[in-house]
Structure 1
């Protein structure tokens, strides 16, 4: 097949998806559930003890119909916001499809959120109802001095039935999901209707509301086909939490749109359980954040020898090259790095679709996905740069038929920052470069770049080198002010269990960077920590490291230590920002 024929075929598929999900007749219940064979497995929901709850598409249709009728009985209508503060469960899946069957809009809340983050999202989205695990109910209790009062009045509780909150109307999930009420016809609202109201993870600044229309599923489905390479015969496991965009867009919506057999695992990550599930469930297609792969790599658990993995994908943070040095032998396949955003879905990938597959290049996040046109713009002008030059990663909207984001909810100034002045380009907020073959390489967030004596240093390049050190589990680097150079590199390192912090280890890491990357870019100071600050979706929050560093330097008791000692655990200050302690 010629390149022209290949591109034509891919463009035709993109056009088909756009037409299907943008149609005025688009019905979410049909697109994600009702059109699939009733006896086909939708999900196996697993727990850490090996118990399984199986949900077929027929059961999902029947039970979500009953739940949508229950929601309608308490006044939920099309367009109303319904939040979920729930872990992975059969009830969670039934709740989602029930919400969408009514034409209501889902507001995802991650279960690790603290009460202020929950209150902010409930208030910002104007949620009318919250569906909540019984174990999470305490987070909805208003306390004196709360910045954001919780205005939701109806609470649907999954689990125990002894919940009581002043000012709330409490409903049992099982009661609302009971069959017997008159069925509510599935809403037919068309591709422009909203169905998700999600908030960005807030690596910088406050979270911003993104209202997702039904037609965005065209972009999600395209990624599932081209990037993930999902086949009807696959057993698919997206380990990302659906409280965040990647897990929701591609672990739930992408799966439901294809009718594939998927897995959900309750509870937190565990290396032994992950390997066991991959082996015993014959998972053929696996997607997870880089943190999961690095945790597997650094664990003491040996990978099974009988894995059936055909595809492994990574998204959320750039994948450091050392992971694939391990993955080929441990998992039997390379991990393909993918790049995207809450505001778009996935944009640039090392694609698993054989029509787009190419050799994985260390450090590359791949090529533009069909339906998107990625470019690199000058940092100060909206001019496309030649290959090899670092600039702003952007997307030409006239050549990106899968684009659907028009701006943040009630935030015009922040919305304007995501587009060029003439709205010709969508601006990712990230820096990178493109080679002559169209492969993109991530450099940094625009506000994370380190400028040292005129040199521009991208944190990811340095982090990739440090992460390859045999003692390092994970790391992050930031800029530190320097009187002579303007800024220098400082590193924050989490060591593997068999290694201990020491001045010798810090010096070894510094020499490692000098000899394997660049003499000028080595970290002038190395801090050791037991954890790094991250968003719940796994993105490193470098602004927390900068704030923790500044807090330490402002403390006279720490000033001499921070000035002279290259070994500083920083744990106290990092933890204070991670967990909100003064």
Structure 2
């Protein structure tokens, strides 16, 4: 069994170097004949990409992007589902020293425009089926400040480029190098107040991703690994795309625009998946649809991230699969840093008390702080989840795009703490119990939604005077979005208007953010000073 402390030192030294080459680390150093990605089509047929093919195709695309004026530090946005096209685009981006901005394909055009504008993207590369989402909106700069390329062979608009035409140049053979502090990605997260913020992901964050891949997920060289998360999210980017490439592993990528429990079981069985990482909604939906497990399914390790799993779901998985789900805690600004490990760790616990996530993973020291004193809270007492920076060599977050040095830090005479914005409890065995998002975000079907984003979208509808958005507990989704609406004069609250408002959010923001429940009220609950009392909306 390898020494975790030595592994961490090696990974940190490798990924936090003055001359870090991301393309070399994720691709060029690996056996060119080894499979890097297996894309699974709609009829479950596989298309594979080796590390040698990935190197060659990303080199030629990098040259084409350079001919379009892309330079180190420029941002390249993607609107591409998981799979071969995204993997090649990401590697080409990093060969140039550019910064990847992965976008959720479920976002509405206005939300995409906001992120493109905020990030300063120079070019956005989209799958053909999402090209219409990049058509001009009232918020699009005139002229647009970004170019557009599609993944198909033929341009869909007069000014479009395609990956095929961009890849017609001699290959760009010298990958760019950066320092460990150089950005490699910007991942957008919802914000309680105001628009979403772009998390700056530096090259040194690769050490945290590799450590979680090895210890948290426990992916072995002979595993068939499948992470179902959307690459526009942190879990999908960090551990569906990046960490398998770091380790030289193959990962499955299902090219499907919808979730289907029977399709999930088909992939698990047909491809003999042994290591499966997904979100709580997938497990809850599988439980509702699955009575017995097909004998061809041989999965040996299960992991979950996004929000805490209830003990009954973990018990169900243990009964059905014969193994428990390892529930892991993390966030976009950290990666994943706590939970029972699926990898080999000497003296690591194998069970936790009900409701507990587990201990900190190697490379992390997690504390729960009292709200007033910023001192460690007594064991078993509720407080704010924080990272002890001096004792957490994998902690990498330094701020948001355009808001550098905005990380929430607390200083005591003995320690420097990075506040996560979450709350919870630490028990006497060192297990973290997650309580809630301190920043008020709604987690629905593993999507993190800022209430103000939905409120701002609803407020653009001519019938809405003001509104408040809140979370509704739900057995399958975890939470659903609820909305209380105060109407403008001349409008009447009807079921038809409620449905119209749901469609409005779906069209102007994202389908996963559309309110499940819409209620019409005379006034919002407010404090004496006029501030909305969000907790009273429920």
- Determine whether 1:233 maps to 2:222: yes
**Partner residue of 1:54 out of 48, 63, 74:** 48
Change (3 A) 1:571 1:298: farther
Cα-to-partner distance string for 1:288-344 (whole Å, 9 max, x where unaligned): 010111111112574312321111000011111111121123223211100111111
Deviation at 1:347, TM superposition (A): 1.6
Deviation at 1:557, TM superposition (A): 7.6
- Determine whether 1:399 maps to 2:388: no
* RMSD of equivalent CA atoms: 3.1
**Partner residue of 1:211 out of 177, 189, 200:** 200
**Partner residue of 1:35 out of 9, 13, 29:** 29
- Aligned to 1:37, the other structure's residue is in SS state coil
1:338 — aligned with what? 328
Unaligned runs of 5+ in 1: 450-458, 464-477, 479-489, 497-531, 533-538, 562-569
**Structure 1 segment 317-356 matched on structure 2, within 5 A:** 317-355=307-345, 356=348
Judge conservation of contact 1:309–1:332 (CA < 8 Å) in 2.
no
Cα-to-partner distance string for 1:228-278 (whole Å, 9 max, x where unaligned): 011111110000011111100011100100011210001121111111111
**Partner residue of 1:221 out of 210, 228, 245:** 210
Cα-to-partner distance string for 1:446-491 (whole Å, 9 max, x where unaligned): 2559xxxxxxxxx99xx9xxxxxxxxxxxxxx9xxxxxxxxxxx98
Q: Over alpha carbons, which structure has the higher Rg?
A: 1
1:23 — aligned with what? 17
Deviation at 1:89, TM superposition (A): 2.9
Alpha-carbon distance between aligned partners in 1 of 2:197 and 2:108, rounded to the nearest angstrom: 17
- Determine whether 1:549 maps to 2:470: no
Cα-to-partner distance string for 1:13-65 (whole Å, 9 max, x where unaligned): 21111111001121111100011111111111002212211111111111111
- Determine whether 1:443 maps to 2:435: yes
- Aligned to 2:314, the other structure's residue is in SS state helix
- Aligned to 1:67, the other structure's residue is in SS state helix
Q: Taking structure 2 as the reference length, what is the TM-score of the superposition?
A: 0.82
**Structure 1 segment 16-415 matched on structure 2, within 5 A:** 16-143=10-137, 145-146=138-139, 151-159=144-152, 161-164=154-157, 169-178=159-168, 180-202=169-191, 205-267=194-256, 268-299=258-289, 302-355=292-345, 356-411=348-403
Change (3 A) 1:154 1:368: same
Change (3 A) 1:293 1:572: farther
Deviation at 1:73, TM superposition (A): 1.7
2:535 — aligned with what? none
Q: Taking structure 1 as the reference length, what is the TM-score of the superposition?
A: 0.76
Alpha-carbon distance between aligned partners in 1 of 2:139 and 2:179, rounded to the nearest angstrom: 39
Alpha-carbon distance between aligned partners in 1 of 2:107 and 2:389, rounded to the nearest angstrom: 34
Unaligned runs of 5+ in 2: 445-450, 452-469, 509-513, 519-538
Judge conservation of contact 2:352–2:431 (CA < 8 Å) in 1.
no
Higher relative contact order (CA 8 A, sep 6+): 2
